[in-house]
Amino acid sequence: MGDEQNAVLTRAEKAVLGEIWTSKRAYENLVYLCDQIGNRWAGSESEHRAAQFLQTKALEYGLQGVTIQTFPLTGWRRGLTRLEVVSPVAREVAAIALPYTPAARLEGEAIWVGQGEAEDFERLSGQIAGKIVLSAAETTPGPGQHSSHRREKFARAIAAGAVAFLFVNQNPGGLAITGALAAGFPAEIPGLGLPKEAGDFIVRLLSAGPVRLRLQIGSEFFPTTSANVLGQIGPAWAGQYILTGAHYDAHDIAFGALDNAAGAVVVLEAVRALATVADTLSIPIRMALFGCEEIGLLGAWYHASQAGDELERCRFVLNVDSPVGPVPGNETLRLCGFPELVPYFEGISREMGYDLPVQDRLNAYSDHFPFAVAGVPNGMLGSSSAGTGLVGRGWGHTPADTVDKVAPKSLQTAAATVARLLLRLARADDWPGKHRSRAEMAATVAESPIGWYVEKFGRYPFQPAERALTL
């Protein structure tokens, strides 16, 4: 880049940082989304109101082509749920239904599978059929070890012939943990989320002998719609474009401040600030705030399928999910299927004088994944949870994911990082990213820790049934 171009970048960057560091908008928008609008659960009235609110803000911030991209889905509503130990003692135990569980009424023997990894199921092979599987929600992996997602543990339980799946929070505090079982269709077997204390109680009973459980789950499915909120800044068309996105939906038992109202307001704030220097962007930056991430990335799958061949012109997808941690400024960038781009982003981090850890690791559980599958260079900006003393998702997916966990300045640092990355990506004349073919990406997935899943079930862990392995 020539000196003149460098000067343009520096001026634009200072203007953008000034915008972000003198603005309370991201925090105000977060408070509004969580406290006024509520849980933003997929397909609910609350989610629809959130989409309208974000659309209004995008228009106010000067984005072009602001639209709401609506798509159909099968909604889910929880009903009365009850879990009881029948023997060796009689006791009701705290539990909630996991989204997309079928309704159920059954009794069975419990079996504890520990962290629910492949080796745990292998160790217990032949003992699981007909039983109610009890599994730790998250895995605390050893160095270099895979930490399976809920859907992978659930799939192992199904494959082993379990009749139900109980998912135990690993963090104390009486908080039941949630998480969808399926991508917008009734799950194969029923599932419940338990607080750590309830799970530990059952595990203690199991250490002395067999434990019988009775569960009763109310669950309702109905047709509804969800939506992505779209807009863009910069030149109308320049051959290529950048896409940045974040999901704004959350779980019905939570307010989703960290996961992911924070991501949605950070992306909106970054794009708002960049709109003030839109004339310095060489290519447009498109924004997509996704619905239904929490039930299998349905908004992102839909958006990617609608974009079709246009994705070939997409330079990079920057997904922002849970960008705020307990310590401000601890953003991390995780590329998905593009290890050769790690040095490029490390170079940007050095150039910015801002420590941004960069790695490449296949992650099928946030909105960048449908774009990764299509071969588009992509990454997710998240945050390190170091310093919370919590494992796994921490407060995420529990009723404790509330506004008080989010410091306004954490939103400012995350928005600044997102904006600086986008500014550089949209001005780069040395962009080294190359698209992959879908077949190459499929091969990468096949070699990854979720390869077995794809082979066994014929689709990605969270993928709408009708789109098996395609967009």
Contact 168, 137 (CB under 8 A): yes
- Applying CB under 5 A, which of residues 249, 321, 331, 401 lies at the interface with Zn ion? 321
Cα-based distances in Å from 142 to 333, 334, 364: 21, 19, 20
Cβ atoms of 408 and 346 closer than 8 Å: no
Q: From its phi and psi, is residue 94 left (phi > 0), alpha (psi between -120 and 50) or beta?
A: beta
Stretch that binds Zn ion, among 26-34, 144-152, 159-167, 314-322 (CB under 5 A): 314-322
In whole angstroms, the minimum distance from the beta carbon of 289 to Zn ion comes to 12
Comparing CB distances to Zn ion, the nearer of 154 and 248 is 248
Q: Which is nearer to Zn ion, 321 or 401 (CB)?
A: 321
Candidates 92-100, 168-176, 315-323, 374-382: pick the segment binding Zn ion (CB under 5 A): 315-323
* 252 lies in the binding site for Zn ion (CB under 5 A): no
> Residue 111 phi/psi, 5° resolution?
-140, 130
Give 34's Cβ-side CA count (13 Å radius): 27
Dig out the tokens for 178 from the structure: 């949630």
In this complex, which beta carbon is closest to Zn ion, that of residue 278 or of residue 411? Answer: 411
Report the C-alpha gap between 470 and 460 in whole angstroms: 9
> Is 259 among the residues that bind Zn ion (CB under 5 A)?
yes
What is the nearest approach in angstroms of Zn ion to the Cβ of residue 398? 13
For the packed helices 262-275 and 3-21, what is the interaxial angle rounded to 10 degrees? 130
Residue 260 found at the interface with Zn ion (CB under 5 A): yes
Residue 264 C-beta: closest distance to Zn ion, Å: 10
- Which segment (211-219, 253-261, 309-317, 444-452) binds Zn ion by CB under 5 A? 253-261
Q: CB of 256: closest distance to Zn ion in angstroms?
A: 8
- Which residue, 244 or 260, has its beta carbon nearer to Zn ion? 260
Q: Which pair of structure tokens corresponds to residue 444?
A: 């990468």
Please say which residue, 19 or 259, places its beta carbon nearer to Zn ion: 259
Find the part of the chain contacting Zn ion (CB under 5 A) among 206-214, 279-287, 320-328, 452-460: 320-328
Q: Which is nearer to Zn ion, 139 or 319 (CB)?
A: 319
Give the Cβ contact number of residue 467 at 10 Å.
Answer: 17
Q: How far is the CB of 246 from Zn ion (least distance, A)?
A: 8
Our CB check for Zn ion shows the closer of 241 and 462 to be 462
Q: Shortest approach of Zn ion to residue 293 CB, angstroms?
A: 6
For 2-50, what is the HEC assignment? CHHHHHHHHHHHHHHHHHHHCCCHHHHHHHHHHHHHCCCCCCCHHHHHH
What CA–CA distance (Å, rounded) separates 348 from 344? Answer: 6
Query: Candidates 316-324, 352-360, 404-412, 425-433 — which segment interacts with Zn ion by CB under 5 A?
Result: 316-324
Using the rule CB under 5 A, is 319 a contact of Zn ion?
A: no
81 vs 228, which CB is nearer to Zn ion?
228
Q: Return the residues of window 53-82 that contact Zn ion according to CB under 5 A.
A: none
Q: Which is nearer to Zn ion, 269 or 401 (CB)?
A: 401
| CA-based radius of gyration for the chain | 22
With CB under 5 A, what is the number of residues at the site for Zn ion? Answer: 3
- Residues 6 or more apart whose Cβ sits within 8 Å of residue 286: 230, 231, 232, 241, 242, 243, 244
- Give contact residues for Zn ion (rule: CB under 5 A): 259-260, 321
